[in-house]
Amino acid sequence: MNDVLIKYDELGRLVTRLAAIIEEFENAGDRSDLIRDAIGKPWDRRELPDKAGESESRWDYKRGRLVESLSTIHEAADGLHKSFEQFDEEAASKFESGEQPPKS
């Protein structure tokens, strides 16, 4: 069986980046009105802004599901990162005091 090596700093960066991506997706819906306003009503017709609104509605649903999945991954990665951090701190403390380090 092959071992998996994940560097602690890389795991921390993953947690940070996932949080930023989730925030970006959550705030993306706030910009949909800006898109419709930018499109306006060319030639006094509503077809283009209506289609943009329909597209945004479909994307809102998909984005919501994506945010749910990313949030699950973020929570798992964050929990793993915090667990390794706690283990590292406990092991360092016990090592410095001469005690046996915690078993992994």
Q: Tell me, yes or no, whether 75 lies in a domain.
A: yes
Q: Tell me, yes or no, whether 91 lies in a domain.
A: no
Q: Tell me, yes or no, whether 15 lies in a domain.
A: yes
| pTM, to two decimals | 0.70
Distance CA 50, CA 35 (A): 11
Query: What total number of domains does the chain contain?
Result: 1
Say what the pLDDT of residue 73 is: 97
Give the count of beta carbons closer than 10 Å to the beta carbon of residue 14.
17
**What's the longest Cα–Cα distance across the chain?**
80
Q: Radius of gyration of the chain from Cα atoms?
A: 23
Mean pLDDT of 26-39: 74
Q: Tell me, yes or no, whether 56 lies in a domain.
A: yes
Q: Tell me, yes or no, whether 14 lies in a domain.
A: yes
In the chain, the percentage of residues whose pLDDT exceeds 70 is: 90
Q: Tell me, yes or no, whether 22 lies in a domain.
A: yes
Q: Tell me, yes or no, whether 31 lies in a domain.
A: yes
Q: Tell me, yes or no, whether 32 lies in a domain.
A: yes
Q: Which domain holds residue 58?
A: 8-84
